[in-house]
Amino acid sequence: MRGWLLTFCLMTLFIMSTMPLLAAAENKVVIVAIPRLMLEDISERTPNLLEFVRTSAVGMMTQSRLGSPVRIYQAWNSGMSLRPSRSGPLFMDAAEIYRGQPVAQLYRALTGFSISSDGAVHIGFPQLYQINSSNAAYLGRVGALLHEASLKTAAIGNCDIDTLDTLDRSSSAMLMDDRGRIDYGAVGSGTNLKDPDFPAGTRSDPQQILTYWQSFNRLAQVILITLGDLERLEAYSNNLTEIRWNHYRRLTLNRYDRLFGELLKQIDGEKTLTVLFTTLPPSRERRRTENAAAPVIIHGPDFDRGLLTYDWNWQKGHVSANDSAVTVLHFLGIAKPSRFDGAELRRVPGDWKRLLLNRAKFPLGFFQELA
């Protein structure tokens, strides 16, 4: 009888101790990366985005010390600033062809590792590893931690520019693991459509992106969606008049607002952390205002209307990019690793519109130096 009672007590303690881990395992994260988006872009003209902001916790980040989007994405994943590879972030779907070779075959030849036929991979990862040899252990830390926790990752979308023959899938660096891999990928041309009336010649295809998300949402716990048209416009910043520049941005934001509305209808808000992430404001804005503040907006359990902060932050609403990475890990039941910049974010009462009023006062590099 005593043996049965002892067994019962031990089983009860085990079940109770693992309940938080099981609950965290049910959670999901959706990161929507919209590079070059400004908080000022969100208005009554974008009702879905506006409602998202009104019901979420909002913060402003300054990334100027990191300098470029690819460095920001890499820092988000590694917890520190790392050098990008000279050839750029060559993320590709396993089924794509790169310079006449199947990507999966090329990756295996370069690294000795395999990638699933549904995955995506950074085929320049060996070069990235060598360039950051002294800090190579920190490459792909977030992705590796997710895989250690048996969580799957997925990446959708890109910032490719056909007219300039440019591949830009740098945002995928947010989720790659320590071998440069993502479990499910749709980072190639399949998420774009040809548009001769758009300066880049190519723009994001909202319907294809939504379709891929619906497919990957059944398979992955952490999904990155990149909407790259504002970044594509950035490449043509010096070649567009102010009128045309604003025209294309307005059309793009309207398309993204409709897509965002469809996504929000299908996301389980009780178990999903939705993160709207951007890197740098447009260069035109940076020249006008001399600041590099960019928004991060988080919605989900414990992240409703208010501002983002962390325990020792003296000015609420002022955060760093790495803080959102730590927050994503915590939401999934994963502890912050050692030597990883950033703090877990929480929501406090506050009005997001005050961030707009104070944005011009944000000193360059303020958040990164403070973090």
Please give the residue that has the higher pLDDT: either 326 or 68: 326
Q: Please say whether the beta carbons of 293 and 359 come within 8 A.
A: yes
Question: For residue 23, what pLDDT is reported?
Answer: 40
Tell me which of 86-90, 234-238, 240-244, 287-291 is least confident: 287-291
- Burial class, 168, CB count within 10 angstroms (exposed 0-12 / middle 13-18 / buried 19+): buried
Output the pLDDT for position 20. Answer: 41
Per-residue HEC secondary structure of 76-90 comes to: HHHCCCCCCCCCCCC
On the question of pLDDT at 18 being above 90, the answer is no
- At 13 the pLDDT is 44
Portion of the chain with pLDDT greater than 70, in percent:
86
pLDDT band at 360 (very low <50, low <70, confident <90, very high): low
pLDDT at 253 over 70: yes
pLDDT class of 170 with cuts at 50, 70, 90: very high
What was the pLDDT predicted at 118? Answer: 96
Using the predicted structure, report yes or no on whether residue 217 has a pLDDT greater than 90: yes
Per-residue pLDDT band for 315 (boundaries 50, 70, 90) equals: confident
Class of domain 25-370 (CATH, top level): alpha beta
Is residue 32 within 8 A of residue 262, CB to CB? The reply is no
Query: What integer pLDDT is reported at residue 206 of this predicted model?
Result: 97
Please give the Cα distance from 339 to 99 (Å, whole number): 38
Contact 287, 57 (CB under 8 A): no
Position 293 scores a pLDDT of 82
Residue 364 has pLDDT above 70, yes or no: no
Q: Report whether pLDDT(108) > 80.
A: yes
Those residues with Cβ within 8 angstroms of residue 197's Cβ, 6 or more apart along the chain or in another chain:
none
Q: Looking at residue 341, what is its pLDDT? A: 92
Q: Residue 86 has what pLDDT?
A: 74
Res 146 pLDDT > 50: yes
Closest CA to 277 of 319, 219, 340: 319
pLDDT surpassing 60 at residue 12: no
Q: What is the structure's pLDDT at 313?
A: 75
Contact between 160 and 166 under an 8 Å Cβ cutoff? The reply is yes
> What's the pLDDT at 11?
47
Across the range 301-310, mean pLDDT stands at 95
Q: For position 6, what pLDDT does the model report?
A: 45
The secondary structure of residue 126, as a DSSP letter, is H
pLDDT for res 7: 45
Beta pairing, strands 97-98 & 101-102? antiparallel
> What does the pLDDT average to over 331-360?
89
* The pLDDT of residue 288: 65
Report which of residues 295 and 1 the model is more confident about.
295
Average pLDDT over residues 322-337: 96
Least confident range from 23-32, 242-251, 259-268, 332-341: namely: 23-32
Residue ranges of domains in the chain: 25-370
Report pLDDT digits (tens) over 32-87: 999 999 999 999 999 999 999 999 999 998 765 667 899 999 999 999 988 888 76
Rounded mean pLDDT of the chain?
A: 88
pTM of the model: 0.90
